[in-house]
Chains A and B, each alone.
Chain A
Amino acid sequence: MRTIGGALARGALAMAGRRSPWGGGEDKGSGSGDESGEDGGQQPPSDPGRGPRNPWLPPGDNTRRSANIEDIFKAREQRKTGGGGPGRPGGGMPRMPSRPDGKSWLPLMIGAAALLWLGVSSVHMVGPKEEGTVTTFGKYARTIGPGISLTLPWPIQAVQVNDVTSIQRYAIPEGEGEKLMLTSDQNLVDLSYLVRWNIKNLRDYRFRLADPEETVREVAEAAMRSTLAEITLDDALSGAGRARAEQGVRERMQRILDAYQSGVAVQGVEIKKADPPTKVIGAFQQVTAAQQDAERDRSNARAWAQQLLARAQGDAAAFDKVYAEYRLAPEVTRRRMYYETMERVLSNNEKVIVESNGVTPYLPLSEVRRRPVAPAPADATAAAQAPSAGVTP
């Protein structure tokens, strides 16, 4: 009777699971039904030799009634003694191979399974970054560190291993969506940031919070918003303001998470991106353009100023030099300069010399020919006025 052991064990397990004697009883029944490949309870009673025959039934076993447990065992026993030989049509269970000395393999297999179970459920390998919590019937017993640890086998003690030292990263928002947040000056900023955290106290992490990961996320969100609501848009966009905000968020998060006794350590908060919203980004670029325009205006002015000053200094220096010479011989220098200038002026220009005042000026024909477009009389008058106004020392 090799199946009954399994059926009983399974029944017991089912009972342990449901903690109900009735559940266990039903399981036992269906368990034996599965294995024999027939189910006495569900087949309607039928006359032997008539009606539809179940092809899986062994011949001769046709009397059917509601089977009780003993019946099932009995039927099994009969079949075992009768059948089991190869070639018998519809012949029950496949036989397990026997050991050479004719004994069953079953005790050995059970032993092996028990050993395996002990090995799997009581020896625990914990990786270098991990820790595990050991619970005895659900009650916290201890925390095991990296390496191999022994515990009592499973259902008595259970171990759950978590990665504690490696740093988890949450990007908020996930993906590339725009996340607008309000700043203290009621402007909006498109922000995405990264939260890095790990577990600093595995016990708290496992038992204190219903959903620690979601909590970290929500706390990060709340902390970021409240920090951002305290700084202006310009601060949020600038590097220094960002660094302050990151620090603020981190401290705030840690404070809240510690208040929850979450066992989480926030390692850092990094603002990946802080941009103006896409809808107004054009206006922001205009500001940059304006800044560049203003800078260009200023540097143009500075260049011009430098030019002007240099020129003034040059002029002044030149005057000083000439004046120093002039002081040595004022009259001569003055005359010399006058003649030299007049020479240059007159040698380059047309000259008309009118002998005496009161004579109508003679119109220079050569001039008129050369510049037919120019109104000659006006030109002449202008020219006539120029010397009397200008060249009088």
Chain B
Amino acid sequence: MNTIWQKYKGPLIAAAVILVALLSSVVIVPESQQAVVLRFGEPVRVINRYRPNVDYGKTGAGLSLRIPFAERVERIDKRLLSVDMQPQQVLSTDQLRLNVDAYARFRIIDPVRMVRTAGTPERVKEQLEPILTSELRQELGKRTFQSLLTAERGRAMANIRDGLDKEAREYGVQVVDVRIKRADLPDGALESAFTRMQAAREQEATTIRAQGQKQAQIIRAEAEAEAAKTYAAAFGKDADFYDFYRAMQSYDYAFTNGEHGTTLVLSPDNSYLKEFRGR
């Protein structure tokens, strides 16, 4: 071994140097990254730059060359990134509060500009967050509480996205989407919402009971009317006979069913007793 080393010292060292030089001049850029090549700190080109509608495999990812030592490579995420906002309290035009938590999705489309202005994607996020917050407050603050809830329906989110996008272009960033992740009532409002819901339900319960009673009454009245009609149809045929017939029933009911006997004082003039005297 020693002899080999002694013998081929020169070529071995040369091979090692060449290997090192090769390795240091090759850059591997995966599909998920774009790389800005800085020559002495000056951005000269971008490897695997984001371009929409270019198929994977043709984007320029993979092996690239650089001048060793002179060129430095800054790797920047190519994927869709997210900036998350701290939950914000938004005041609607009708003076109601809502806690809003939103996110924005962005992608770096001009990495050179991004490297110059912000440096890293993390710094971009830091820069974008306050802009997102203020855009959101501005836009949502123009609306009533009701339309805050359905902010996605209207132009609000698109306006926020456009506003944020305009600012973000300064950093070489394209904002793809802004969305409200959560919209909650703040604590105080939550309590009053509960109270309101409770009151509403109690009112509903009372209404339902009253409605039930009303309908029961109507059902009864209708039945009574129906019964009256039936009676009238039958009894109307002979009112005089009805009077007699019903009187008989009534006497039966009133005097026959009593537990204790009733004492009837009859005069001999009574029709029942008219034969009593003998004729």
Contact = CB atoms under 8 A, between A and B. Distances in A.
A135 B31 contact: yes
A353 B263 CA distance: 10
A43 B151 CA distance: 72
Contacts of B184: 180, 182
A182 B149 contact: yes
B185 interface: yes
A377 to B, nearest CB: 12
Given A298-B215, A301-B219, A312 B183 contact: no
Given A210-B82, A298-B219, A311-B227, A352 B266 contact: yes
A371 B261 CA distance: 11
Contacts of B39: none
Given A259-B177, A304-B220, A391 B212 contact: no
B62 interface: yes
Nearest to A22: B20
B77 to A, nearest CB: 6
A293 B149 CA distance: 36
Interface stretch (A57-65, A113-121, A225-233): A225-233
Contacts of B196: 186
B231 to A, nearest CB: 6
Contacts of A4: 1, 5
Contact of B268 (A256, A305, A312, A356): A356
A256 B179 contact: yes
A262 B176 CA distance: 13
Interface string B20-54: 10011000111111000000000000000000000
Interface string A381-393: 0011011101111
B197 interface: yes
B146 interface: yes
Contacts, number: 332
A290 interface: yes
A30 interface: no
A187 interface: yes
B263 to A, nearest CB: 4
A260 B216 contact: no
B251 A390 contact: yes
A183 to B, nearest CB: 8
Interface string B209-224: 1011101110110111
A226 B237 contact: no
Interface centre among A294, A334, A393, by most chain B C-beta atoms within 10 angstroms, is A294
Identify the interface centre among A74, A139, A206, A330: most chain B CB within 10 Å of its CB. Answer: A139
Q: Is the interface of A mostly helix, strand, loop or mixed?
A: helix
A280 B219 contact: no
A203 B30 CA distance: 13
A105 interface: no
Nearest to B149: A229
B23 A301 contact: no
Nearest to A346: B264
Given A137-B28, A350-B264, A226 B180 contact: yes
B255 to A, nearest CB: 4
Contact of A350 (B146, B209, B223, B261): B261
Nearest to A307: B223
Interface string A160-181: 0000000000000000000010
Interface in B212-247: 212-213, 215-217, 219-220, 222-224, 226-228, 230-231, 233-235, 237-238, 241-242, 244-245, 247
Given A354-B265, A379-B263, A316 B209 contact: no
Contacts of B198: 279-280, 282-283
A92 B218 CA distance: 110
B208 interface: yes
Contacts of B258: 348-349
A80 to B, nearest CB: 9
Most buried by B among A138, A279, A295, A349: A138
Across the A-B interface, the 6 shortest Cβ-Cβ residue pairs:
A294-B212, A1-B1, A139-B62, A305-B223, A138-B30, A301-B216
Interface of B: 1-2, 4-5, 16-17, 19-20, 23-24, 28-33, 56-57, 59, 61-63, 77-82, 103, 105, 145-146, 149-153, 176-177, 179-185, 190, 193-194, 196-198, 200-202, 204-206, 208-209, 211-213, 215-217, 219-220, 222-224, 226-228, 230-231, 233-235, 237-238, 241-242, 244-245, 247-248, 251-252, 254-256, 258, 260-273, 276
11 contacts: A210-B82, A280-B201, A283-B198, A287-B204, A304-B219, A304-B220, A334-B241, A338-B244, A349-B262, A361-B265, A380-B265
Given A277-B194, A323-B237, 16 more contacts: A1-B4, A73-B5, A74-B2, A186-B149, A210-B79, A230-B150, A259-B177, A280-B201, A304-B220, A316-B234, A338-B244, A342-B272, A352-B265, A387-B264, A387-B270, A390-B247
Interface of A: 1, 4, 12, 15-16, 19-21, 24, 73-74, 77, 135-142, 180, 182, 184, 186-188, 203, 206-211, 214-215, 218-219, 221-222, 225-226, 229-230, 233, 256, 259-262, 276-277, 279-280, 282-284, 286-287, 289-291, 293-298, 300-302, 304-306, 308-309, 311-313, 315-317, 319-320, 322-323, 326, 330, 334, 337-339, 341-342, 344-346, 348-357, 361, 364, 367, 371, 379-380, 383-384, 386-388, 390-393
